[in-house]
Structure 1
Amino acid sequence: MHYGDRVVYILLSLRYNARIRVKTYTDELTPLDSICSVFAGANWYEREIWDMYGVFFANHPDLRRILTDYGFDGHPFRKDFPLSGFTEVRYDDELQRVVIEPLEMTQEFHHLLQTTLFLFYRSFLTFPLPVNMAEEVKLQTAPFDARFPNQNQTRNCWQNYVDYHRCHKIKGEDYEPCDYFKRVFRSICPNAWVEKWDSQMEEGVFAAKI
């Protein structure tokens, strides 16, 4: 997995002493076809990529976490995953069992600006993007009394709100990975903005195409 939206396969031929590198593109909502039916040894590699980066492989025989614990939230090798993690796992002497508690930090988590890093790799694509990916979301003008000091923070808030609703529209209301976007925009967006956008969604006048 090459961070951004590229997945790289490196195939080694022992007979011809040669390597082939195959690059493909994906995103958080688009699965890749598993190659386990062709290369059985890719089974655990694809499980590790899913566990660490969140890339979903369709038709994998047993796609589940392989390095992290059961019930782990998030994908540790992604740049938007905090170094400290979201929870603390420790052994409680009084309860005599392992407990999982929310992590308390003295400062807020840093949020990745998707508009700068993720879009960088689009210039390497040699085929036309689908309409829903090629269309650029324009930032809705926020109230001046509620804007972030940095416009990128405002854009990050807006983009995650849009991605959340697009994810559910594409994958369905029961697709849990979509909730990641909700956790992000809920942590950085003022409540007044979210209430306003929710109202616009209900009235069908929301600024972005979902």
Structure 2
Amino acid sequence: MTIVILNTGCANLTSIKIAIKKLGYTSQITSDPYLLLKSKKLIIPGVGTASAVMKILHEKNLVSFIKNMKQPVLGICLGMQIFCQFSEECNGTKTIGILNNDSAVLLKSSNLPLPHIGWNYINIKKKHLLFKNIQKDSRFYFVHSYIVPVGKYTLSTSDYGVSFSSVIQKNNFFGVQFHPEKSGDIGSQLLKNFLEI
């Protein structure tokens, strides 16, 4: 199986590659459209800003290419947020537009510091293969200041002053707000579940 980690130029790609290798799979880091097309799974990592990632995707002519992919695609953190139509980050950034009429918005919690950093629970709302062998009270590692609001594509929520989407799905596009590659055994299980979908 060909697993591609999209080279966005903004992310710690090696940690995802290592996490996949520990599961017994091999992956390659690339932004070559031909290799993306051939992939069985695509992972879009998330470190950096929405504007920086979208600039790279536009330069490489990958925006519509990704939007039209048919194989399973996993967006991690910022990689999930750019599935929205827009991001509030950097005074507003037009993003890929997979989720209809959704925007990634600033996490506004009255008494809690930003970014939201550390371990937090997910509240599973819908049964899904992504959650195979994952308990309802599982915790994952988060680092973010922007969120995808709870909506019809939400599979699980988390709370940090406000409730937000921690896992989403629309068709073949999956997103997680946390970092599975930094979430120990439970993160490995979720990555394994995605790779086996």
Which bin holds the TM-score, normalised by the shorter protein? under 0.3
Greater relative contact order (Cα < 8 A, sep 6+): 2
The structure in which a higher percent of residues are strand is 2
TM norm structure 1: 0.26
Rg larger in structure:
1
